[in-house]
């Protein structure tokens, strides 16, 4: 049994759920996987940089009790913090800037350079620095993992990495933004657009400024992440044809439903005959028999067509911080297993 020093950069709902899950799974991790852990670092804008190479009390962290952060930080606080914590694994769960992928890319690069596995729930680094981070991880003998970036804890990336060898994806379609899907579901139940957005904000699934979801940006970045990793085709999200759900009225949604159709924000990527990749995010009016039409609320779905399996669909139901945290935990366990294993 090896004890691994874990550092969490970001300590919001997902970070707390991850610590709870680590505690809950401590015995099986030790007994089934030979893995032990301690929380050696926690950092956030509010907390500063807390490092304790011999381990923090995880229960105290969950109660909101934190020791003092590092004093006298250098120009590169992430590196100083990871070194002070003697970090073996960085969980990068800070706030995202999907436009640039920073500062997450810097955090992940630094972790790998410091000899730690780099695990992120941020999709920005995939679309802006996937190949760089993948190659850097290989040079450092560490792993760069990101299962939680698309469809929370549902195993999309690991599925193709380990369970579906020698598969080429020809096309995928999906419902990858849960906020818009929730809004559309509520509009079907009778709400107008503004009230559905407000309700989504009140229960914490839409941001104060909902435009990243509503205008299709979040979905676009996810399409780019899937295409980049699974189809080996780096895509700039800005190059993806995109429209959102703004302008749709509750009356239109309800009229469509009465006729047997559902409006959905659909993500598509397809390999053309010449090998080029075409991707698109936009609203579509789907027949109720379309597999994508059955996804309600915050659930999400991706449907793959491959050269060996004509159709394989994964649906994740009712995700939450614990689901995202499980994706991070699975990455942690898998980072320590032999690469390319089965």
Contact footprint for a copy of itself (CB under 8 A) = 21, 25, 28-29, 32-33, 153-155, 158-159, 161-167, 288-289, 291, 294, 296, 299, 308-320, 322-323, 326, 329-330, 333-335, 337-342
| 35: β partners | 2
With respect to a copy of itself, which residue has the nearer C-beta, 32 or 74? 32
C-alpha to C-alpha distance for 96 and 213, rounded to whole angstroms: 14
- What minimum distance in Å lies between the beta carbon of 339 and a copy of itself? 6
With respect to a copy of itself, which residue has the nearer C-beta, 21 or 52? 21
- What minimum distance in Å lies between the beta carbon of 137 and a copy of itself? 13
With respect to a copy of itself, which residue has the nearer C-beta, 182 or 193? 182
| Burial readout 11-29 (b: 16 or more C-beta within 10 A, e: otherwise) | beebbbbbbbbbeebeeeb
DSSP 242-283: E--STT--HHHHHHHHHTTEEEEEEEEEEE-TTS-EEEEEEE
- What minimum distance in Å lies between the beta carbon of 72 and a copy of itself? 39
List the 89-92 sheet strands across, edge first: 48-56, 35-44, 2-9, 89-92, 117-120, 144-145
With respect to a copy of itself, which residue has the nearer C-beta, 93 or 214? 93
- What minimum distance in Å lies between the beta carbon of 337 and a copy of itself? 4
With respect to a copy of itself, which residue has the nearer C-beta, 44 or 149? 149
- What minimum distance in Å lies between the beta carbon of 232 and a copy of itself? 11
């Amino acid at each position: 049994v090896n004890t691994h020093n874990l550092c969490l950069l970001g300590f919001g709902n997902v970070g707390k759920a991850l610590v709870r899950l680590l505690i809950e799974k401590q015995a099986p991790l030790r007994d089934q996987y030979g893995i032990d852990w301690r929380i050696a670092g926690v950092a956030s804008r509010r907390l500063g940089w807390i490092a304790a190479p011999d381990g923090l009390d995880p229960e105290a962290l969950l109660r909101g009790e934190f020791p003092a952060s590092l004093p006298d930080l250098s120009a590169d606080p992430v590196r100083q913090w990871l070194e002070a914590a003697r970090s073996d694994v960085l969980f990068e769960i800070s706030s995202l800037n999907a436009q640039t992928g920073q500062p997450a890319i810097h955090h992940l690069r630094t972790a790998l350079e410091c000899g730690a596995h780099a695990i992120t729930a941020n999709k920005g680094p995939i679309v802006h620095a996937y190949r760089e981070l993948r190659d850097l991880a290989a040079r450092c003998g560490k792993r760069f993992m990101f299962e939680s970036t698309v469809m929370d804890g549902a195993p999309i990336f690991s599925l193709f990495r380990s369970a579906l060898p020698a598969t080429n994806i020809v096309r995928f379609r999906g419902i990858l933004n849960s906020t818009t899907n929730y809004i559309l579901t509520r509009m079907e139940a009778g709400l107008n657009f503004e009230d559905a957005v407000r309700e989504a904000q009140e229960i914490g699934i839409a941001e104060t400024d909902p435009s990243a979801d509503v205008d299709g940006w979040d979905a676009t970045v996810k399409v780019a992440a899937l295409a980049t990793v699974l189809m080996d085709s780096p895509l700039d999200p800005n190059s993806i044809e995109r429209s959102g759900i703004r302008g749709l009225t509750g009356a239109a949604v309800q009229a469509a439903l009465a006729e047997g159709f559902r409006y959905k924000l659909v993500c598509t990527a397809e390999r053309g005959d010449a090998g080029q990749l075409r991707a698109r995010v936009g609203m579509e009016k789907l027949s109720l028999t379309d597999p994508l039409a059955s996804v309600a609320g915050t659930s999400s779905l991706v449907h793959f067509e491959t050269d060996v399996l004509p159709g394989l669909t994964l649906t994740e139901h009712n995700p939450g911080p614990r689901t995202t945290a499980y994706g991070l935990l699975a990455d942690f366990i898998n980072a320590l297993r032999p690469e390319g294993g089965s």
